[in-house]
């Protein structure tokens, strides 16, 4: 390529192309919170997005919003605690978009019970939802990701890094996601597949807002307290977590794999 052609190409690239032009992204858990924000961000940056979640009404709203702004997205209803649904997610992406470049596993569930109180069936359900589903979706996606030299971003939690009281199964699942992802990063590097993890803390979401509303007349006191324990003085926004997810999935992070990235406003430094 001549110098002139090189400069013209990159001038055009900088003007017209986006980071995910031509890429297909699966966002699991995209009907609310960090998953929804990630779906919007991927679409804004040129990706075709498969929006995956349990709630069809909310999922379709996400898709409609993306498509109204000129993006490309479609919805698939799935219960990731079921193995067949995990397989169907990958099949659906291939059927609709012919390829997979990025898998963003952003779904999750929480049970606030310690080891003495949690029931075996609750443990099984949470591990199946939070950890086994990630294993299955990644496993089924790998053949396609090998073809595209794609990458995976899994969502853990700051709890996966430092633990948490009264959250036996949740802490186990989030720690497991980090360990599994590091193993995958090593095993899949030879295929050019990167695997990274985000570890969010307090991020504004439906679950967090529900928790504040349940504080029996002390909602504002609890909001003030939770904000105060963050060195930055506030909890995070879903869009801020999405920015980290999209960065790790992009070529801007092309030499980053096996990383568990805290997105928690430095809360764990003094936890």
Which residues have a catalytic role annotated? 170
- Whether the CB-CB separation of 49 and 73 falls below 8 Å is answered with yes
Residue 143's contacts (CB-CB under 8 Å, 6 or more residues apart) are: none
CA distances from 145 to 124, 201, 249 (A): 29, 29, 13
Q: Give CA–CA dist 30/24, Å, rounded.
A: 15
Alpha helices in the chain (DSSP H): 3-16, 33-44, 56-68, 83-97, 120-127, 133-148, 158-162, 168-188, 206-213, 219-228, 238-249
Given the structure tokens 């909310």, which residue do they identify? 58
First to last CA, the chain: 54
226 with 162: CB under 8 angstroms?
A: no
CA pair distance 172, 160, nearest whole angstrom: 7
List, in order, residues 6 or more apart from 156 with CB less than 8 Å away: 174, 175, 177, 178, 181, 197, 198, 199, 260
Counting beta carbons within 10 angstroms of the beta carbon of residue 219, is it exposed (0 to 12), middle (13 to 18) or buried (19 or more)? middle
Tokens for 57? 């009404």
Closest CA to 197 of 109, 105, 89: 105
């Amino acid at each position: 390529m001549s110098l002139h052609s090189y400069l013209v190409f990159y001038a055009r690239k900088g003007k017209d192309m986006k980071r995910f032009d031509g890429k297909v992204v699966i966002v699991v858990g995209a009907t609310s919170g960090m998953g929804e924000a990630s779906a919007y961000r991927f679409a804004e940056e040129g990706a075709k997005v498969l929006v995956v979640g349990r709630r069809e009404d909310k999922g379709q709203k996400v898709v409609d919003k993306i498509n109204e702004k000129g993006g490309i997205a479609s919805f698939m209803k799935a219960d990731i605690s079921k193995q067949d649904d995990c397989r169907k997610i990958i099949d659906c992406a291939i059927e609709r978009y012919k390829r997979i470049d990025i898998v963003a596993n952003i779904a999750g569930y929480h049970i606030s019970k310690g080891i003495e109180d949690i029931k075996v069936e609750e443990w099984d359900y949470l591990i199946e939802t939070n950890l086994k589903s990630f294993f299955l979706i990644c496993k089924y996606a790998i053949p396609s990701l090998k073809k595209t030299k794609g990458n995976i971003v899994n969502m853990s939690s700051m709890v996966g890094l430092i633990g948490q009281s009264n959250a036996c199964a949740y802490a186990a699942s989030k720690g497991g996601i980090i360990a599994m992802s590091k193993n995958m990063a090593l095993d899949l590097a030879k295929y050019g597949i990167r695997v990274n993890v985000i570890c969010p803390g307090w991020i504004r979401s439906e679950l967090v807002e529900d928790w504040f509303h349940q504080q029996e007349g002390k909602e504002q006191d609890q909001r003030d307290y939770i904000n105060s324990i963050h060195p930055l003085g506030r909890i995070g926004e879903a869009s801020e977590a999405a920015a980290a997810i999209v960065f790790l999935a992009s070529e801007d992070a092309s030499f980053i794999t096996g990383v568990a990235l805290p997105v928690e406003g430095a809360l764990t430094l003094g936890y």
